[in-house]
Each structure stands twice: as C-alpha cells, then as structure tokens.
Amino acid sequence: MTQLPNNNNPSQAPLAVKPAASAADGSDRRKRGGGWLSQHLKSVFIGGLLALIPLFVTIYILRLLFLAATGFFYPTVQDWLGNVQVQHWTHIHNATAIAVLAALVSLLVFLGIVYLIGALGSFVIGRQLLNAFDHFVENLPLLKGIYSTTKQVIGSFRKEGSKGYERVVLVEFPRVGIWTIAFVTNTVTDSCCGKRYLTVFIPMTPNPTSGFFQFVPEEDVRNTDWTKEQAITIVLSGGLMAPAEMNFGPPGKVNKAGAAIMAPAGAASGVPAAPQQLGAP
C-alpha cells in the first residue's frame, strides 16, 4: 500500500530540484571566455601580419633584384672560386662559404659594370659608343620593339622636362562621373576639324606598368599639379598614401606649361561642371 507524502510534515517535504539553467549558464560563460580569447588571438595575429607584410615585400623585392644582378655572373664566379688553385690562394674549401662569396663577388662585378657604363656615358666617345649600341639593338628584328619601348618608359622618369609622361591629369574612366589618374603622353590634333586630343596612359593598381591607353578630348580632362611620383605612389597604394587634401584642378584646356587657361562656366565659383561624354564633339 503506497503512503502519500504528508505536506504538513517538514521531514517528508519534497527535495528542491536544482535548476538545469545553472549548467547552461556555465556553458555560456565558457563560450564567452573562449570567444574573447579567439577574438584576441585573431586581432593580435592580424596586427602582427600587417606589420610584417611591408618587411616581407621589401625582402622579396630586394631578393629579386639581387638575383637579377648576380644571376648572370654567379655561375662563372662560383666555378672560378671552386678552382683548386684559387682555393689554395684563398684557403676557402667549404661549399657554403664559396657560394656566399660567389654571390658577393658577383654583386660587386655588377655594380662595377654599372659604374663603368655610367662613367663612360659622361664622355663624348662613351656617349657615341652607347648610341651606336642603341642603334644596333634597335635594328634587331626581335628585340627592337621591347628595347625601344622599355627605354622610352624608363627615360620618361629620368627628367621632368623630357618627352614621355608630360603631366598627371584626371580623366573620366571607366564611365562618366568616375575620375581616374592618367599620365599625358602626347597631344594630337584631328586633321579634319582641328580638335585637340590628349593621349593618356591609365595605370592599374597595384601594378602601374600595365593599364589602358585612351584618346581623350583636351577639354574633358582635369589638370592637376601633382608630380609623377605622387601619382605613382597613390596608384601603388590603392589610394592609401593619398594626402588628406589635394588640388584636383578645374576642367579646361591647357597651355604648353600645363596650366589651366580655360574652364567651363561654374568652375571658378566652386560649382563642379557637369560631366561630359568622352569623345563628344
């Protein structure tokens, strides 16, 4: 016969059931603690990675330049240092030491050749020899296109007044209303109507050596006072290295000095002119 519990008797009162929510609360606290640790490690790791990326990029570029400078002379110098007579003179017999010394000697040979070519170009006879070499290479069927183009691109950055990238402008690309950095390379005139066009090179980010070539009406560009170095830095960094304030300049025709001499109505009052369709007459 089953005896029912007596509620009036404290000794027979039912035991209090421990709420199950306490275990869930502990699990939540552990999850919050684990989430904080994961977030902390993630932020610290990303911060360290961002701090090391410039160093890695610098080392990688220096390594490429070092290999390019020493790669041509390295095998010959290494074989020379590995000669028995040379080893008897230098007392270097370890293969690793020979490899390191060969790389250093190759670098010194490359720097010496660069210095000699630069010194040779400072004399009249040396310049004539270099011009003769340029003429010879530019007449080779397979090399003349690459050599001439590379020489013109490199030469455009040597002197500010040399023919090449004349100045930095802004053009509406890839659509009207979107302004993009471009380098003016030349000015041409339409023989039919006399309209002047600018030939511009639009560099790509983060590799400014590739990009787009466009014919743009002279009145459709914005003339800036930026230097080539400033523009290249902005393109390379994707805009991260752009200063807080820059002079974008008004649209208008330019004189030979590159200064704006005519702007559409409203530009002088600070009101931006309405964008025009590229190539519109």
What mean pLDDT do residues 170-197 have? Answer: 90
Percent of the residues in the chain that have a pLDDT greater than 70, as a whole number: 68
Residues 6+ apart with CB under 8 A from 272: 266
Q: Give me the phi and psi of 216, to 5 degrees please.
A: -125, 130
Q: Give 81 or 18, the one with higher predicted confidence.
A: 81
Q: Give 133 or 35, the one with higher predicted confidence.
A: 133
Tokens of 279: 């190539």
What is the predicted pLDDT for the residue at 274? 41
208 to each of 45, 154, 205, 231, 271, how far by Cα in Å?
31, 13, 6, 10, 32
Q: Give me the phi and psi of 223, to 5 degrees please.
A: -90, 130
- Tell me the C-alpha distance between 52 and 166, whole Å: 36
What is the predicted pLDDT for the residue at 158? 61
Confidence of residue 25 (pLDDT cuts 50, 70, 90): low
- Tell me the C-alpha distance between 109 and 245, whole Å: 46
How many other CB atoms are there within 10 angstroms of residue 157's CB atom? 13
What is the predicted pLDDT for the residue at 170? 92
Q: Which residues sit opposite 184 in a β-bridge?
A: 167, 200
pLDDT surpasses 80 at 246: no
Confidence of residue 129 (pLDDT cuts 50, 70, 90): confident
Q: In what order do the strands lie in the sheet with 196-203?
A: 211-217, 196-203, 179-189, 167-172, 222-223
- Tell me the C-alpha distance between 226 and 232, whole Å: 10
Biggest distance spanned by C-alpha atoms of the chain: 128
Q: Give 100 or 252, the one with higher predicted confidence.
A: 100
42 to each of 38, 39, 45, how far by Cα in Å?
6, 5, 5
Q: Which residues sit opposite 167 in a β-bridge?
A: 184
Q: Give 179 or 275, the one with higher predicted confidence.
A: 179
The answer to pTM > 0.75 is no
The string of pLDDT tens digits covering residues 161-172 is 445 577 899 999
- Tell me the C-alpha distance between 120 and 117, whole Å: 5
Closest by Cα among 139, 114, 138, 116 to 126: 116
Q: What is the DSSP string of 62-89?
A: HHHHHHHHHTTTHHHHHHHHTSHHHHHH
Burial 12-36 (b: 16+ CB within 10 A, else e): eeeeeeeeeeeeeeeeeeeeeeeee
Q: Give 150 or 226, the one with higher predicted confidence.
A: 226
Using the structure block, give the residue that is written with the tokens 């023919």.
Answer: 163
The string of pLDDT tens digits covering residues 7-23 is 555 555 555 555 555 55
Tokens of 228: 């080539």
Q: Worst-scoring range by mean pLDDT, 19-28, 73-82, 90-99, 149-158?
A: 19-28
Judge whether 242 and 250 are in contact, CB under 8 Å: no
Q: Worst-scoring range by mean pLDDT, 30-34, 177-181, 245-249, 271-275?
A: 271-275
What is the predicted pLDDT for the residue at 188? 92
What mean pLDDT do residues 193-203 have? Answer: 92
The string of pLDDT tens digits covering residues 202-217 is 998 877 778 899 999 9
What is the predicted pLDDT for the residue at 279? 40
